[in-house]
Amino acid sequence: MRFHLTLFLFLASLPVILTQEVTVAEILVDGTKKVAETDDNFICATLDWWPHDKCNYNQCPWAYTSVTNLDLSHPLLAKVIQAFKPLRIRVGGSLQDQVLYDVGMLKSPCHPFQKMKNGLFGFSKGCLQMSRWDDLNHLFNNTGAIVTFGLNALHGRHKIGKDVWAGDWDASNAREFINYTILKGYQIDSWEFGNELSGAGIGASVGALQYAKDVINLKNIINELYKASHFKPPLLAPGGFFDQEWFAKLLQVSGSDIVDVVSHHIYNLGSGNDPNLVSKILDPQHLSLISETFSSLEETIQKNGPWASAWIGEAGGAYNSGGCNVSHTFVNSFWYLDQLGMSSNYSTKVYCRQTLVGGNYGLLNTTTFTPNPDYYSALLWHCLMGKGVLSVGTDASPFLRTYAHCSKGRVGVTLLLINLSNQTGFIINVENGMNLQMRVEANSIIRDNSFINSLKKSVSWIGNKASNVSVREEYHLTPKDGYIQSHTMVLNGIPLELTSDGEIPRLDPVLNEVNSPLYIAPLSIAFVVLPNFEAPACV
C-alpha cells in the first residue's frame, strides 16, 4: 500500500485543474440512522443462455459464453469469481423459459438451442444436460459462488394471442430438476420463476392471476422437497419489468410468505445501438429518471407484500446485448456505480449485473475473460461499501453524484463520488450531521445553499469522538489516457491490468491526511473511506 502524508492527488492534479473550473462542495452525511439496508452480498452477476449466434445490429457479441457452452475450466474464470469471496451469480435470461432439464421422465429429446424463424426470440427450445449441470455446480462449489437459478415458467402453457400465453404451468420437469439438485447436494441459494413474463412481457406474457397460482405451486414444491433440509431457498418472482398493477396483483393473490423476493429488470439506457448512449450515461437528469421505478416498487411491496424484499435480477444498461464500445468501457461505470448507489437507497437487497460474461455488457471480455472496467467497479463496491445506507446532502451541482454507506467490515463510512462533469472538478468538504434532524429523502440532492450554510455552525466535523486514525483511503478511478471509452480503468494513476502471472491486480488506495482537501477530477469516480467518521447507525 502506498502511503501519502499530504495532498498526493490534489497536488498531482494541480497543473490540470488550474485550466478547469474548480468548485467547492459541501457534503453532509447523517450517520445517526440507516435509510435502507442491502444484502451482505449486494453485488451479483448473471450467466445467460444466449448461444454464439445470438446477434443484434449486425454483430454477434456473445461468443461461447452460454450456460451450456462456457469454458468452465478456464483458470481466469475461477479467479475472477473467487476475488469476491463470494460472488452472487444468477443463472437466467430470455431463453430460460424455453429450457428443458434432461432428468426424469423428459418427454422431449435433449437438443441445444437452434435458430428457428418462428421460435420465441428466434430460437427453438433448448435443453440442460445433467452432466453440464454437474460441471456448473463444480465451478460454483469451488469458487464459493452464491447461486440463484431461473426456472422455465412457460412449460406446459400455450399461446393464445400475440405474445400472450395461458394455461397452467407444468411443474413436472422443474420438480425433477430441483429434486436432482437436492440429491446431488448442490447448494442453490434461491430459485426464480420465469423471465420477463410480467405485464406486457418481452416476447411472452402471463397474466398475474395465473402467475400467482403457479408461484404458489412452486412454493409448495420447494417446501416439500426441502422439508428435510435446514435451509429452504427463497422464491424469487417475477424476474420482469416493473408493472405496478401486475406486481401488486401477484403479491395480493399469492399471499403472505409465498414470494420471498420481488425481482425486476432494468435497461434504462435504451437500445444497444442508440448513438446517444454516452450522453445518456453522463446526463444526471436521465440517470435519475429510474428512481421513480425504485420508489414505486418499494411502495408496492410495502403495501401489498411487506414480507418480501426487492432485487434487481438483471440490469445491463442498454438492451439487446448492450452497446458496442460503450457497455464494456470505462464510461459505463458512471451508469453502473450510480445504479448501485441509487438502488440501494430504495431498499434493493441485491443487484444482478447482466452479465458476468457475454454480450457487450459483460464484466469480463467474452473470449479472454480479462476483466472489463465495470468488473473493478463491482469489486471495489463489494470490498468497501457495507450494507448500511446513509443519507447524503450536498450543495453541489447535479453532476456530482454522492452516496454513503457504512464501511464494510470496519468502523466508519465510505463515500462514493461520481463526477459526470467534463469541465468541473470538486474540492469537497465532508461534514458529519449526526446531531441534526436531517429531513432528506432517500437519494435526494440538496441544492439549497441557505440550508447548507445554516448547518455549518452545528455540524460535527469528521473525526470528532471517533477513531483516532489520522488518514483516509481514496480510490480514484479514471480512464486510461483520459479517453472515457477506454477498455482500461486506472486506479490512482495505475492501469488495472492482470499481473504477469495472470492474477487480478491489487486494488490499493492512496492515503491522505483526514483533514486535507479532497478533490475529485472531472469525469472521474472515487471511493473514499473515512475510518474516523462517527456514525452510530453503523455500530
Q: Apex CA 220: angle with CA 214 and CA 242, to 5°?
A: 40
**Extended beta strands in 154-242, E state:** 158-161, 164-166, 190-193, 205-206, 235-240
User: 123 in helix, strand or coil?
Assistant: strand
Cα 82 to Cα 538: distance, rounded to the nearest angstrom: 27
Let me know if 314 is a catalytic residue.
yes
Distances in Å between the Cα of 118 and the Cα atoms of 122, 124, 126, 197, 382 are 6, 8, 15, 18, 42
3-state helix, strand, coil split of the chain in percent (to 5) is: 25, 30, 45
- In this structure, how many other beta carbons lie within 10 angstroms of the beta carbon of residue 516? 16
Q: What is the DSSP letter of 509?
A: P
Distances in Å between the Cα of 500 and the Cα atoms of 308, 377, 504, 505 are 46, 22, 10, 10
Cα 281 to Cα 419: distance, rounded to the nearest angstrom: 12
Of the residues 26, 314, 431, 474, which is catalytic? 314
Cα 492 to Cα 510: distance, rounded to the nearest angstrom: 7
Asked if residues 386 and 535 have their Cβ atoms less than 8 Å apart, the reply is no
**Closest among 241, 335, 260, 248 to 300, alpha carbons compared:** 248
Task: Give the H/E segment covering residue 222.
Answer: helix 208-225
Region for residue 261 given its phi and psi (left: phi exceeds 0; alpha: psi -120 to 50; beta: otherwise): beta
**Closest among 196, 236, 163 to 97, alpha carbons compared:** 196
Cα 261 to Cα 249: distance, rounded to the nearest angstrom: 15
Let me know if 292 is a catalytic residue.
no
Grid cell listed for 381: 463496491
Grid cell listed for 470: 489520522
Asked if residues 355 and 366 have their Cβ atoms less than 8 Å apart, the reply is no
Grid cell listed for 86: 463470494
Give the helix ranges, DSSP H, for 270-350: 277-281, 284-289, 291-304, 332-345
Cα 479 to Cα 281: distance, rounded to the nearest angstrom: 15
* Beta-sheet pairing, 348-353 with 309-315: parallel
Peptide bond before residue 355 is cis, with ω within 30 degrees of 0: yes
User: 347 in helix, strand or coil?
Assistant: coil
Of the residues 26, 37, 192, 196, which is catalytic? 196
Catalytically annotated residues: 196, 314
